[in-house]
C-alpha cells in the first residue's frame, strides 16, 4: 500500500509541467534620455529596444529603471534594490548627463560610475556604458575632462562603451524637442541604432 502511494506521488510529479524559465533581463538605468521624457508611451529608444529584441529572436525582457533628472548619486542609491529585484543579465548605464549639467566634479562622476559598474558585475551582470557629452558652452576644459571620464572607465574596467547620441543627431536641431536638450520621437530609432551593435555583442555571449 505504501509503495503504491509513493508510486502515485512520482507519477503525479512527472505529470506536472515544469515551470518555464524566466526570460533574461536587461536593466536600463538612466535619466530622461532613457526615461522617454516628452515622448508618448512606446516611442523612447528603450521601448524600441524591446521591440528590436523580439524581432531579432531574443527572449530578453527590458526593465526601464530610468528616472528624469537622475544623477549618478541617485543611480547609486537605487541600484542595489534594482539588481536584487530584477536580477539582470545585462545592465545598460546611461547616467552622468545631469551631473555634468550641474557642473559637478568629474572625479565624482567617474567614481560613481565605477561603483555602478562594480556593483552590477558583482551580481553577475554584464555592463554596457553609454557615453555623455557636455555642450560646448561649458568650456573646453570641463567638456574635455568629462569626455575623458568615459575613456578612463572603458580602459580601467574593460567595459563596452557606446555613444547614445552620435554627432549626426547631437548637432541637428531637427532631432530635438523644443527645449533643445531632449531628442524627439524621430531621433529615437537612431539612438537605438547607436546602442544596438555593442549590446548585441553582449547578447551573443
3-state secondary structure (DSSP) of residue 45:
helix
Enumerate the β-bridge partners of residue 63.
27
CB 59 within 8 A of CB 203: no
Smallest CA-to-CA distance from 78 within 70, 88, 89 is with 70
Average pLDDT across the chain, whole number: 91
Dist. CA 79–CA 28, nearest whole Å: 11
Question: Which CATH number does 21-203 carry?
Answer: 3.40.50.1110
pLDDT at 17: 45
Give the number of other Cβ atoms within 10 Å of residue 185's Cβ: 15
Give the number of other Cβ atoms within 10 Å of residue 200's Cβ: 13
C-alpha cell at 188: 529615437
Q: Domain coordinates of the chain in residue numbers?
A: 21-203
pLDDT for 21-68, tens place per residue? 889 999 999 999 999 999 999 999 999 999 999 999 999 999 999 999
3-state SS of 133-148 is: CCCHHHCHHHHHHHHH
Catalytic center residues: 32, 179, 182
pLDDT for 76-123, tens place per residue? 999 999 999 999 999 999 999 999 999 899 999 999 999 999 999 999
> Lowest mean pLDDT: which of 98-112, 133-147, 170-184?
133-147
pLDDT at 79: 98
* Mean pLDDT, range 150-171, rounded to an integer: 95
Smallest CA-to-CA distance from 201 within 58, 63, 33 is with 58
pLDDT at 136: 78
pTM of the model: 0.89
Amino acid at each position: 500500500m505504501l509503495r503504491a502511494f509513493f508510486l502515485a506521488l512520482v507519477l503525479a510529479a512527472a505529470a506536472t509541467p515544469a515551470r518555464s524559465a524566466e526570460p533574461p533581463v536587461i536593466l536600463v538605468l538612466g535619466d530622461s534620455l532613457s526615461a522617454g521624457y516628452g515622448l508618448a508611451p512606446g516611442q523612447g529608444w528603450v521601448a524600441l529596444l524591446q521591440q528590436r529584441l523580439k524581432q531579432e529572436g531574443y527572449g530578453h525582457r527590458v526593465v526601464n529603471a530610468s528616472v528624469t533628472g537622475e544623477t549618478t548619486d541617485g543611480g547609486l542609491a537605487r541600484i542595489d534594490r534594482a539588481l536584487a529585484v530584477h536580477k539582470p543579465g545585462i545592465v545598460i548605464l546611461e547616467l552622468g548627463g545631469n551631473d555634468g549639467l550641474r557642473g559637478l566634479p568629474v572625479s565624482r562622476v567617474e567614481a560613481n560610475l565605477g561603483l555602478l559598474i562594480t556593483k552590477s558585475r558583482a551580481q553577475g551582470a554584464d555592463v554596457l556604458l553609454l557615453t555623455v557629452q557636455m555642450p560646448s558652452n561649458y568650456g573646453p576644459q570641463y567638456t574635455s575632462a568629462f569626455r575623458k571620464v568615459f575613456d578612463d572607465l572603458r580602459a580601467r574596467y574593460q567595459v563596452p562603451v557606446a555613444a547614445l547620441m552620435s554627432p549626426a543627431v547631437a548637432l541637428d536641431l531637427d532631432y530635438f524637442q523644443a527645449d533643445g536638450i531632449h531628442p524627439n520621437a524621430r531621433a529615437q530609432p537612431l539612438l537605438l541604432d547607436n546602442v544596438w551593435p555593442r549590446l548585441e555583442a553582449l547578447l551573443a555571449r
